[in-house]
Each structure stands twice: as C-alpha cells, then as structure tokens.
Amino acid sequence: MNCQLDAASIFYENSLYRFMYEATGSFVPCWMSHLLAGLAIMLLLVNSVLLGAALVTWLERRILGRLHNRIGPNRWGPFGLLQPIADLAKLLTKEDLVPAGADKLVFTLVPFVMMLPLVLMTAVIPFSYNTMLADLNVGVLFILAVSSASTIGIFMAGWSSNNRYALFGAARSVAVLISYEVPVVVSLLGIVMITGSMSLNSIVQAQTIPFLLVQPLALFIFVTGMSAELNRTPFDIAEAESEIIAGYHTEYSGIKFALIFATETGAMLVVSAIIATLFLSGWNGPLENFLGWLWFLLKTLGIIFVFIWVRGTYPRLRLDQIMALSWKFLLPLSLINLAVTSIEVFVLKGVDGYLSTMDLWIMAGINIPLSIMLVLLLGGVLNKKVDASPVKAVAPVVPGVATIEVK
Amino acid sequence: MNMRTEPMTVNVGPQHPSTHGVFRLRITFDGEEIVEVEPILGYLHRGSEKLAEERNYVQVVTLTDRLDYTSSMINNQAYCIAVEKLLDIEPPKRGKYLRTLVAELQRIASHLVAVGFFIQELGAFGTPLMYAFRSRERILDLFEMLCGARVTVSYMRPGGVFADTPEDFWPALSDFLEEFDEEFGEMEQLLLQNEILTSRTRGVSTLPADMAINCSVSGPVLRASGVNWDWRKMAPYDAYAEMEFDIPVGRSGDNYDRFWVRMQEIRQSVRIIEQCVERIESGPVRHADLPLVVRPEPGVEAYGRVEASKGELAFYLVSDGGVSPYRCKVRSPSLINLTVTEHLLVGWTLPDMIVSLGSVDINMGEVDR
C-alpha cells in the first residue's frame, strides 16, 4: 500500500501533512493515514492555540496592568510568564459545580462546543509560506461560518445554567451576533472581489500591498464586528461584569471555566491572526520563505495589542446603541464599500482578470480619503440623533451664589 | 405573531459587583426594561446610633468614621460641629482651617471614588478607576501623616483637631496639589468629552428639580438637577465663610450632570485647599479648657450639619447631662438620596440602572448605620 497524495488535494501544499501521509501510508490503509496525518497536525494546532491563549492571557494582564499604573502578574516565572499555568493549576483543584436545576448535559457540553469552532478556524490560516493544514478554496466562507457557531455555545451556557444573569448574557450575545454577522460578511466581499479567490493563501499572495490600505473601511468594519462577536470592549455586553456579573459563564467554575476562558482569549488570538492574514498581508515580508512565521506572529501580536488597548480605554455601549451602530452605521458603510470596490475592480481589472500593484495603489488612493470622509459624515449624522440636548429643568435658584453651569 | 412573555424578577445584590456594598434591589424586568424596583436595606446595620449612647462624646468620633467610610473626615466634622453647638464652644482659628482643609481633601478622595466607580460601572475596565485611585492614595498618605490612619481617621475632636500637623505635611501637600492638577487633568481629558460616556449618560435617568426637592435629596445629586444649594454657602461652618468657590450645577439632572458636578467640585475643592494653605496661621488647634469627658447641660439639643461629599450630613444630639449623648440621630445623605431610586430606575434598562445607581453614589455604611 503506497499512498501518494493527489496534487489536486487541498493538503498537497502542506509538506508536514504529505510527509505524515506518505510515511504512515506504507503500513496502514490510505484512509487511515489521512486520519493519522490530520490528527498529528490537529494536535499541534490545538496545543498551539491553547498555549497561545495562555500567553495572550499573560500579555493582556501585563498590558492592562501598565495601562492601569500597576505592574501586573510578575511573581511566577520570569515577568510572571508562568502565571497562566499557576491559574490553571488552581482552577483544576476547584470543585466542578453544576448548579441545581441546571441541564447537566448541555451545561457540560458548553466548553467543548465553544472550543470546537475555535480550533476549526485555525485549520485554514496560513501561518507561513505554505504552512497551513488545508488550503481550502472557500477559506473565507469557512471562517465566517465556523466563527458564528461559537454563539451556540454561549446560548447553551446561558440557557442551561438556570441563572437569570446567564440568560441575560445569552440573549444579548445572540442579538449582537445576528446584527454583526451581516456587515462583517459584506465587508469581506471587497477583498474576495479584489483577489478573485476565497482561499486565505491566495489572499495573502495577492497582497502586494497590504489590504489595510486598499480596504480601510472593510478593516474598520471587520475589526468592529469581530470585537462584537468576541465580546470585547466596548461591545462586551454578553459578559458585562458590572451589569450581569459574568454573563453567560456566571455559573461555571473549575476546569469548565478555565476552558471557557481559554476559548475567549484563544478566539481573540485566532481572530487577530485572521485579521493579520486578510488585511496585513499575513506572512508577507522580507525573506518570507524563511521568516514568514515571524512577520505573521508580529502582525498578530500588533492586532492583539489593539484589542487590549481598546479594552483598557473605552466604556461599554448599551445594547440598543450596539444594535444602532451595526444597522445604521456599519451596514450602510459596508454596502458603500462593496459598491465602490466593485466599480473600482470593474474599471481597473486588466484583460487577464487580475489587478496589478499599480491598480491596488490607485484603489488605496481613492479608498483611504473616502473611508475617512464616510466615517466622519455618517458618524456626525448618527451623533446628532443620539445626543439630543436635554431640556433645561426649571429649578429654584438661590440668588447671589457663584455658580458654574454644565455646557 | 403574538408571543407570550412574562416579567422576570432578579435579585440584584447583595453580592452583585456594582451595588456599592451590601445593597439589594429586587427588580422586575420586562426584557431588559425595569418595571418595578424594591430596594432592600439593612445588610450592614451595626446600630451605630445606639452604640453612641454607650460612649462618651469623644469616643463617638470613632463611630462616625465608620458611617461613610469614603469620607470619614467629613463625618468627624459634622459630629464635632454638633457637639460644639451642644457645649456652645468654638474651635480656635487654626483648628477651623485644618478641619476645612482636610474635609476638602476628603471630598476630593470621596468624589474620586464616586467618579471612578461610575466609569467602572459604565464598563471601562479599570483604567479610569485606577487613575482616580492613584490620586486618592496620595490623599490617604497625607491623612496618614496627620493622624496615622488612612481610612478610619478620627482626626477631629469636639473643639478642634487632636494634633497639629507634622512638619513635613505642608511640603507634601503642596507636592500633591501640584501633581494632582496634572493627574486630574488626565482624567478630565479621558472622560469629560468621551463619546461613549456622553452617549451612555446624557438624558438618562433625569431627576427634575421639584422632584429632587420634594424627596429631600441633597448634595451633588440635587445640584445636578439645577438647584444651587450647598450648605458651605448657605450656612457656612468652620472656615468656609472666608473661602471663595463656585457651586457647579447641572441642567437636567441626568447621569452625565451628576458625574460632571462631581468632576467640577473636585476642582473647586482644590481652590478651597489652596486658599486654606495660603491663609492658615499658627496657633492652638484645639479648644484649650475642654475636659477629656465633657458633660453638656441636661436637656440641651443640637443639630450639627455639614455639606458632606454625598449631601447634607447632620448629627442631632440630645444631652441628659451625662457623659454620653442621650440620643444621637444621623441624617445620612445616602439614605435620603435613595428615596428617588424608584423614580430614577423604573422605565430604564439594566445597564442604565447600574450607572444611575452609581451616579447617585450611595455608601452602605451610611445607609444602614
């Protein structure tokens, strides 16, 4: 039984997969060597995501500490790097509680349901030149489809916990997801049109200049929408600590909580990686054949820093404001972006059906000022409605007392 | 389509992270909207008023520290003014100035806590709160220099304060004032024009002036509704008659105005402190011929009132000629300000409710006593 990988296979470019497949293929049936090769890589990916999540937790706490004028965790390991492991050890020793009246099966399933889409998403991300599990030709679609599945886990958690705060969190989370899915999907259509492909690898290769410049509006919409789906500030209403304790995971403790928490930070890591891939030209950079992973990592860390920075700065929006932001602001913007991009692609596209670097620069030159103008314009329109100036109350005023009045 | 819905009752507190202590609200929600609110008090009741009847007049000062534990100095002041009225004595000038000075420092600290937690409840993760606490720490350090304690200070005594300032207090104070200007400027820059903050708080939970007056609301909550009422101006005590400062007033009594009034009052307090530092003269700090255990005339009553950081704080004392008060009644601003809770919360949503509660700035130590 000598199994050879077909050159048309989505795994063909992945040299580790091919090696595992062909090595195991000599003593087991071919279908089983597919399984073994896939398992080996999934093991790598799962572990790198979880370890990455631990590192991101540490990073988040250190950076937030700096923003807060504190030091942050620094006791365990150099710069407190082992703090996530200490936390995990503590959580493992905790009692695994299931609240009375909870739906035990659904309650227990939640951490796995939430973890699964996260791990699946990593399958299509190109970490470096030709380093990905599967070069799926519908990569963008796959990511969008799988990432929204995590909300099912959130809703299961809220529903099964038998806790009213958790139910609040679950209901809010679903409402947010439904609103933000639309602008996020529409915003990515521009990229797909420019590259003419949904494969993440092709998108990276097409970025002779980062799409950050070509599609600034799409980046803005995507980052906003993703922070809403990730429950990051200012959209963290599903687990708003000051309002509904911990939202959907109020009742989770011990290792279940650890898994949910790891999923949340892991999701931030994966989404940052996707943003780096789609908008910051992924592994592109000097010496990309050898150092691709480094550029990819640096870009991902940059995005993560932005997420943490925003968390340390902004207050939270209200549910109705988040809805308004999505439907009245982001959705029109994403539609305008789609229209403008399609006209540009139609006009600039050469006879071979591809856009040259010069074309991309022209698009950047049009899109950047247009985006700034649109955001300011639409933001101003929205702002007037929100900030209706309050009526002055008639108040008895003591005369002869120096007062200053609010503007 | 007609869907059957039913209201949901939730206990917010006493272990909720943003109820400012062990406060409990039984709230009935329709979706996220509040249809009914019932505040439930008493989780921190320690019987301070009864305890005061068992201690002599000086010992009661330590009880007042534990009422509103974010503004102990002002509580001391209110009680001491009541006892002074009972005994018909006046503290010396330096004592008055020192009391004014530390009371204003305490007002800054208390307002910083209020504003910090208000922003925290809006959802900002810690940064504004830590900015506020950075400055509050400095104030508590100053208190430590004065009396060795940071929170439960017991610095004041009937007839003045218990000790004069140490030598290094004044340079430390001027250092603080200098740096506070910049630190607080950072906070103002971050918060006052913040888009999310204004859109979350403007026009939310408005309190009309007539409602505020009818409910006997006082302090920043009253002033945010547009009434320029401040006991430091209306009936000046200690050294306030000689101080120059403005009263910030709001317009519509919404959450933003309550927050804005506190931010401005911090600036005005700095003005008062600067004037105190300028005009203070050396001399005794406590009334000279006052015995350790005072016995006021029997049948005398006194009502000492100050503008505390949360509103009008007053002590009503009745003497029966003994070493301890026959009756000590505390008029605590937090409790009275809670009377408008229902008006502020019903009809608004869960996130606004948390913020409105934070903007009233209650302190459970004072509510339950």
Residue A16, pLDDT above cutoff 50:
yes
Measure in Å the smallest separation between the Cα of A234 and chain B Cα atoms.
Answer: 8
Q: For residue B268, what are the domain limits?
A: 45-368
Q: What is the DSSP letter of B10?
A: E
Domain positions in chain A are 1-93, 102-385
Percent of chain B with pLDDT over 90: 15
Question: Given the structure tokens 């005369």, which residue do they identify?
Answer: A399
Nearest Cα to Cα of residue B145 among B134, B153, B135: B153
Quote the pTM value. 0.85
Residue A317, pLDDT above cutoff 80:
yes
**Residue A385 pLDDT:** 52
Flag whether B234 is in a domain: yes
For residues B149 and B141, give the distance between their C-alpha atoms in angstroms, rounded to a whole number.
9
In B, which residues are within 8 Å of A308 by CB distance? Answer: none
**Residue A395 pLDDT:** 61
Q: CA triplet A340, A343, A344: central angle to 5 degrees?
A: 85
**Confidence band of B111 (pLDDT split at 50, 70, 90):** very high
Q: CA triplet B256, B257, B258: central angle to 5 degrees?
A: 90
CB–CB contact B233 A312 (8 Å)? no
The DSSP element (H or E) to which B9 belongs, if any, is strand B8-12
Q: Please write the tens of the pLDDT for every residue from B296-328.
A: 888 889 998 999 999 899 999 998 888 888 988
CB–CB contact B17 A403 (8 Å)? no
Per the model's pLDDT, the better-predicted residue between B301 and A400 turns out to be: B301
- Give the mean model confidence (pLDDT) for residues A174-201: 87
CB–CB contact B352 A241 (8 Å)? no
Q: DSSP of B271-340, one letter per residue?
A: HHHHHHHHH---S-SB-SS--SS--PPTT-EEEEEEEETTEEEEEEEE--SSSS-SEEEEE-HHHHHGGG
Question: Given the structure tokens 């010069």, which residue do they identify?
Answer: A358
**Confidence band of A388 (pLDDT split at 50, 70, 90):** very low
Q: Please write the tens of the pLDDT for every residue from B158-214.
A: 888 888 888 899 999 999 998 898 888 888 888 888 878 888 888 888 888 888 888
**Residue A407 pLDDT:** 66
CB–CB contact B8 A314 (8 Å)? no
Q: Is residue B267 classed exposed, middle or buried when 0-12, 13-18 and 19+ CB atoms within 10 A define those classes?
A: middle
Measure in Å the smallest separation between the Cα of B368 and chain A Cα atoms.
Answer: 23
CB–CB contact B226 A391 (8 Å)? no
Q: What is the 3-state secondary structure (H, E, C) of chain A?
A: CCCCCCCCCCCCCCHHHHHHHHHHCCCCCHHHHHHHHHHHHHHHHHHHHHHHHHHHHHHHHHHHHHHCCCCCCCCCCHHHCCHHHHHHHHHHCCCCCCCCCCCHHHHHHHHHHHHHHHHHHHCCCCCECCECCCCCCCHHHHHHHHHCCHHHHHHHHHHHCCCHHHHHHHHHHHHHHHHHHHHHHHHHHHHHHHHCCCCHHHHHHHCCCCHHHHCHHHHHHHHHHHHHHCCCCCCHHHHCHHHHCCHHHCCCCHHHHHHHHHHHHHHHHHHHHHHHHHHCCCCCCCCHHHHHHHHHHHHHHHHHHHHHHHHHHCCCCCHHHHHHHHHHHHHHHHHHHHHHHHHHHHHHCCCCCCCCHHHHHHHHHHHHHHHHHHHHHHHHHHHHHHCCCCCCCCCCCCCCCCEEECC
Q: Which of B125, B251, B349 shows the shortest C-beta gap to A312? A: B125
**Confidence band of A383 (pLDDT split at 50, 70, 90):** low
**Residue A126 pLDDT:** 84
- Give the mean model confidence (pLDDT) for residues B34-51: 88
Flag whether B126 is in a domain: yes
Flag whether B28 is in a domain: no
CB–CB contact B209 A394 (8 Å)? yes
Measure in Å the smallest separation between the Cα of B25 and chain A Cα atoms.
Answer: 13
Q: Please write the tens of the pLDDT for every residue from B264-282.
A: 899 899 999 999 898 888 8
Residue A2, pLDDT above cutoff 70:
no
Flag whether B226 is in a domain: yes
Q: Token pair for residue A368?
A: 């950047």
CB–CB contact B206 A390 (8 Å)? yes
**Confidence band of B106 (pLDDT split at 50, 70, 90):** very high
B interface test, pick of A243, A310, A381 with most B CB neighbours within 10 Å: A243
Identify the sign of the CA torsion A121, A122, A123, A129. Answer: positive
ipTM of the modeled complex = 0.81
- Cis peptide bond upstream of A390, omega within 30: no
Please tell me which residue of chain B has the smallest CA distance to A393: B252
A interface test, pick of B6, B196, B348 with most A CB neighbours within 10 Å: B196
If one counts every other C-beta atom within 10 angstroms of the C-beta of residue A103, the result is 14
Judged by average pLDDT, the poorest of A90-99, A176-185, A353-362 is A353-362
Flag whether B249 is in a domain: yes
Question: What is the radius of gyration, based on Cα positions, of chain B?
Answer: 21
E strands of B41-105, at which residues? none
Q: Token pair for residue B169?
A: 């207090």
Measure in Å the smallest separation between the Cα of A187 and chain B Cα atoms.
Answer: 24
Q: Residues with Cβ < 8 Å from A245, sequence gap 6 or more?
A: A165, B16, B17
For residues B367 and B369, give the distance between their C-alpha atoms in angstroms, rounded to a whole number.
6
**Confidence band of B81 (pLDDT split at 50, 70, 90):** very high
In B, which residues are within 8 Å of A231 by CB distance? Answer: none
- Strand B247-249 relative to strand B311-318, pairing: unpaired
Total domains, chain B: 1
Nearest Cα to Cα of residue A233 among A306, A158, A164, A145: A306
Q: Which of A314, A390, A404 shows the shortest C-beta gap to B203? A: A390
Flag whether B29 is in a domain: no
Flag whether B299 is in a domain: yes
Distance between terminal CA atoms of chain B? 52
The average confidence (pLDDT) of chain A is: 83
**Residue A171 pLDDT:** 87
Identify the sign of the CA torsion A114, A120, A125, A130. Answer: positive
**Residue A392 pLDDT:** 53
The B311-318 sheet, strands edge to edge? B301-308, B311-318, B327-331
Residue A1, pLDDT above cutoff 70:
no
Residue A401, pLDDT above cutoff 80:
no
**Residue A387 pLDDT:** 47
A interface test, pick of B182, B202, B213, B228 with most A CB neighbours within 10 Å: B228
Please tell me which residue of chain A has the smallest CA distance to B129: A68
Judged by average pLDDT, the poorest of A352-361, A376-385, B283-292 is A376-385
With b for 16 or more beta-carbon neighbours within 10 A and e for fewer, the A228-252 pattern comes to: bbbbbbbbbbbbbbbbbbbbbbbbb
Q: How far is CA A109 from CA A146, A161, A256, A290, in A?
A: 17, 12, 9, 41
**Cα dihedral: A196, A202, A204, A205 (round 10):** -100
For residues A228 and A238, give the distance between their C-alpha atoms in angstroms, rounded to a whole number.
9
Q: CA triplet B89, B94, B95: central angle to 5 degrees?
A: 50
Q: Please write the tens of the pLDDT for every residue from A126-168.
A: 887 777 777 778 888 898 888 888 888 888 888 888 888 888 8
**CATH number of the domain residue B107 falls in:** 1.10.645.10
In A, which residues are within 8 Å of B202 by CB distance? Answer: 387, 390
CA A9 to chain centre: 28
Q: Please write the tens of the pLDDT for every residue from A49-83.
A: 888 888 899 999 999 998 888 888 888 888 888 88
Q: What is the DSSP letter of B349?
A: B
CB–CB contact B248 A404 (8 Å)? yes
Flag whether B267 is in a domain: yes
Please tell me which residue of chain A has the smallest CA distance to B197: A315
